[in-house]
Amino acid sequence: MSGVLFFATTAALMVMMINSGLALVGRGSLGGRSVPWVAVGLAALAVTGVVIQLVWAGAMDALDDDPRKTGWWRVVTSVFIQNGGVAGTVWNIATLALVAGLAQWFWGGPLTVVLFAGGIFLPERIDALLGMGGPSTDPRNFAGSSGATYFLGATLAAALLLRTRIPKRRLLAAAVPVLGLAIWFAQSNGHGLVAVYGFVIGLLAWVVKDGRWRTGER
């Protein structure tokens, strides 16, 4: 039962972030938008990682981010391999493609890449800054794209909170860090805390972006 609740709350958090992104870009505008090539590229890397796992038995051992192993590449390669079984792999790649697409349409390609990279590198460093100790709260469990995806998705909720004046949308956006903290404390669910980190970075990103727009920069 606890496992079912874990997956239910994790999925609910993702749905909230996707709905935040849809509110930002406009549901009715999706058909006329350009192909989000950053999202296509990230999803392709994840699919490639799965293919490598299928054909190379030593892929997980060589590419995961187990802190007991050495290798500078692991923090990046571990994002594009999966260890959640078939269902977890499909979920991770599908949500990565969708969230990255929404992010590219809102943030633009370059900033989406920067924010996704933040989801790869920042959680462990923020943990250290907060003095939390122990293993990172990054939910990848040494492999998987979910940590970076939830981080990126939360930036969309943060932007929605600052941008919209519609009460229902502001409530939706604000609920993302609230649920994130709740599932972190109640379940030790790292997706929740990573989403909180992404939400804070998203607030900062929107302030910078909005400031540049206000001064006429692009």
More confidently predicted of 49 and 211: 49
Helix (H) or strand (E) holding 35, with range, is none
Q: Do the Cβ atoms of 13 and 196 come closer than 8 Å? A: no
Strand runs (DSSP E) across 65-178, as ranges? Answer: none
Instruction: Quote the pLDDT of residue 210.
Output: 77
Q: pLDDT of 155-173, one tens digit each?
A: 999 999 999 999 999 999 9
Helices and strands counted in the chain (H then E): 9, 0
- Is 216 part of a structural domain of the chain? no
Of 119, 123, 125, 122, whose CA–CA distance to 145 is shortest?
119
Residue at token pair 């122990």: 134
Q: Do the Cβ atoms of 92 and 148 come closer than 8 Å? A: no
| φ and ψ at residue 216, rounded to 5 degrees | 90, 5
DSSP string, 145-193: SHHHHHHHHHHHHHHHHHH---HHHHHHHHHHHHHHHHHHHHH--HHHH
CATH of residue 148's domain is: 1.20.1540.10
- Is 218 part of a structural domain of the chain? no
Of 203, 197, 19, 31, whose CA–CA distance to 120 is shortest?
197
- Which of 43-52, 98-107, 181-190 shows the lowest per-residue confidence on average (mean pLDDT)? 181-190
- Is 62 part of a structural domain of the chain? yes
- Is 44 part of a structural domain of the chain? yes
Q: How many domains does the chain have?
A: 1
> How large a percentage of the chain has pLDDT more than 90?
79
- Domain hosting 185: range is 2-208
- Is 71 part of a structural domain of the chain? yes
Instruction: Quote the pLDDT of residue 110.
Output: 97
Average of per-residue pLDDT values in the chain: 91
- Is 159 part of a structural domain of the chain? yes
Q: pLDDT of 63-84, one tens digit each?
A: 999 888 899 999 999 999 998 8
Q: pLDDT of 109-134, one tens digit each?
A: 999 999 999 999 998 888 878 877 55
Distance CA(139)–CA(144), nearest Å, equals 8
Instruction: Quote the pLDDT of residue 141.
Output: 66
- Is 30 part of a structural domain of the chain? yes
- Is 193 part of a structural domain of the chain? yes
